[in-house]
Amino acid sequence: MRLTVVPGAHQTGPLANGNGAGYKGLMPIDIAVGLALAKNGLEIIKAVREAAKQKKLSNEEFLDYLATLQDKLVDVKTALADADEEQRNLRRLLEEATRKADFGASFRFEHGVYWREGYPYCPICWDSKRQPTRLSGPMHGFPAGPGLLLWTCPLDKGHFPLPRFAVK
């Protein structure tokens, strides 16, 4: 079997960019590609092992091939770990977006704020960041107008004078 790995290729291979960062910035890789590369690397190891048994490689060539393969497999492992982390982050973001959409679906907009289950929520936080922030209050002793109570947002410190009754 003829080997296509060139001695010393571990320094300039397609997955290495010379600064130890592996594949990043050079090519996208997904889990299936990483698995295929790992399988290919294992097949090359098997071929090198067979060539060594038949005394077709010098010890120096053999060690160089192994170093090349080890570097490639480390790059594959790194790529797969990065792909796995990205997949986990995307799932987390999707779950968070779904949770927020489900939460916001039950909002009612009245008196300048969002209401859910009888409690007011900050329209600034929801409209700008899709963050459901329940208003604090009512603040007794602060003038808000006749028949009104003052509620505040704990995050953006906005003040909202609302009627004394809760919208249901």
* pLDDT, tens digit (0-9, with 9 covering 90-100), for 11-64: 333 333 333 344 444 445 567 777 777 888 888 778 887 887 887 878 788 788
Say whether both 100 and 122 belong to one domain.
no
Domains of the chain: total:
2
Residue tagged 């300048």 (tokens)? 112
Distance CA 85, CA 83 (A): 5
pLDDT at 165: 66
CA distances from 65 to 17, 86, 149, 152 (A): 19, 31, 77, 68
Q: Which residue, 79, 104, 129, sits at the end of a domain? A: 104
Distance CA 148, CA 153 (A): 16
Mean pLDDT of the chain: 76
Say whether both 84 and 142 belong to one domain.
no
Say whether both 91 and 16 belong to one domain.
yes
Say whether both 43 and 75 belong to one domain.
yes
State which residues form the domain around 24: 9-104
86: left (phi over 0), alpha (psi -120 to 50) or beta: alpha
* pLDDT, tens digit (0-9, with 9 covering 90-100), for 85-125: 888 999 999 998 888 777 778 889 999 999 988 889 999 99
Residues in the chain: 168
